[in-house]
Homo-oligomer: A and B are copies of this chain.
Amino acid sequence: MKAKVHVTLKNGVLDPQGKAVENALGTLGFDGVAGARIGKYIELDLTETDPAKAEAQVTEMCEKLLANTVIENYRVEVGG
């Protein structure tokens, strides 16, 4: 079973990487960019076949390793 995890910075947390991308896009002539925020996208291959258990597992992985919950939010999608 596949799981997809999005890890994004919480609102209000400074995102220097996003700022750099925003500036670089401006330099390249893309004037219409008002903001850019960059997060992580993690695809996991799980041996678990029960969707509910898989989701619980991945949520625990996020809490323990994948996300820094002080400054980051995460979103888990299971299936496929």
Distance between Cα atoms of A21 and B3 in the complex (Å): 14
A35 contacts the other chain (Cβ, under 8 Å)? yes
Contact of A35 (CB < 8 Å), options: B6, B8, B44: B44
Number of contacting residues on A, CB 8 A?
A: 33
Q: Chain B nearest CB: distance from A41 CB in Å?
A: 4
Distance between Cα atoms of A25 and B65 in the complex (Å): 8
Q: Which residues of A contact B (CB under 8 A)?
A: 6-8, 18, 21, 24-25, 28, 30-48, 57, 60-61, 64-66
10 contacts between A and B (CB under 8 A): A28-B64, A32-B46, A32-B48, A32-B57, A35-B43, A36-B43, A36-B44, A36-B45, A37-B43, A38-B41
